[in-house]
Amino acid sequence: MDRISLGNDEFEGRNNAYVLADDDRDELALVDTGIATDDVLADLRDGLADRGYAFADVDAVVLTHFHVDHAGLAGEIQAEGGATVYVHEADLSLVEGRPDAIAARDERRRSLLEEWGVPADAREELFSFLELTSRIEGPPPEATAIEDGTVLEVGGTTLETVHAPGHAAGLCCFEFETADGAEAFVGDAVLPVYTPNVGGADVRVQRPLENYLTTLRGIADRGYDRVWPGHREPIDEPADRALAIVDHHRDRSAAVLEILREHGPADAWTVSARLFGDLDGIHIVHGPGEAYAHLDHLRREGVLDVDGGRYRFADDGVDPDSIELLAD
């Protein structure tokens, strides 16, 4: 697989842009683009130039999801050569930078931060950070919507779209066949080092943990021989990695319950502080968002109740060990 490794000091480590090329048919595509900083722009231009290409040669850009470290340069590429930009329909309006979609997302984030109990000074710190990151989003492209099951013929490669929500509402994996077996580009659905954030990374996602667990089990069941993540190195045993992240979330739910046993009713910010300690930057929303994803899941399963944003064990609630997430 032809991979350009791109700098990224803002989020989860070096990003990957994947190059799909069929020189016989004069077809060139990219899967993800990296963040729209000058350094990353140079990384991507230089990486393509090393292969004999320029932005104007790119026919298609396939985005795994809307996050700026994956979609930031899509508009720049499209402006130079008219590339078609593909993204799941749930993320299209954000990738295109539509003001109504951005305003709705931002309003939901503000509402949830208050519901989660995030203090005013921490919220303001987060908003200042987000204002800075909005300057590195790059010009928005015009995008073409795809959905689960959409088949793309790009760069001489057949990609089948597999919707994989959780980390983001429109996150998709893209399956393809090689001589080595079934493989996929997976964006941030599965990462080799970090566990992708749920709850805070995309506040639009309803039932974020439930959706993400379904995605992880789906990846494990599909029998990929290798997957290519949005950050860092390829994953050669993707089913094992996906199920290890399920185990991680099982342990995290158990930790959340233990915090409530020890300290009594608490909001998501308080639980987050017990889990992660002090937070800054983007983690001011990622931390309580992840705590909320677990608290909300446990509430929906009948283990917890919530009142005024504070979670407590439900009267006559179900045994936590009986729910799917915590069961062996």
| Percentage of the chain lying above the pLDDT 70 cut | 97
Q: Are strands 157-163 and 172-178 parallel, antiparallel or unpaired?
A: antiparallel
Residues 196-253: tens digit of each pLDDT: 999 999 999 999 999 999 999 999 999 999 999 999 899 999 999 999 999 999 999 9
For the domain made up of 2-240, the CATH class stated in words is alpha beta
Residue boundaries of the structural domains of the chain = 2-240, 243-322
Using CB atoms within 10 A of its CB, is residue 169 exposed (0-12), middle (13-18) or buried (19+)? buried
Q: What is the pTM of this model?
A: 0.94
Cα 194 to Cα 22, 191, 197, 199: the distances in Å are 33, 6, 9, 15
Q: Which residues pair with residue 120 across a beta bridge?
A: none
Angle between helical axes of 99-115 and 120-133 (0-180°, round to 10):
150
Residues 32-75: tens digit of each pLDDT: 999 999 999 999 999 999 999 999 999 999 999 999 999 999 99
pLDDT of residue 27: 96
**84-88: strand order across its sheet:** 2-6, 15-22, 27-31, 60-62, 84-88, 143-146
Residues 109-139: tens digit of each pLDDT: 999 999 999 999 999 999 998 987 777 889 9
Architecture of domain 243-322: Orthogonal Bundle (1.10)
pLDDT of residue 218: 97
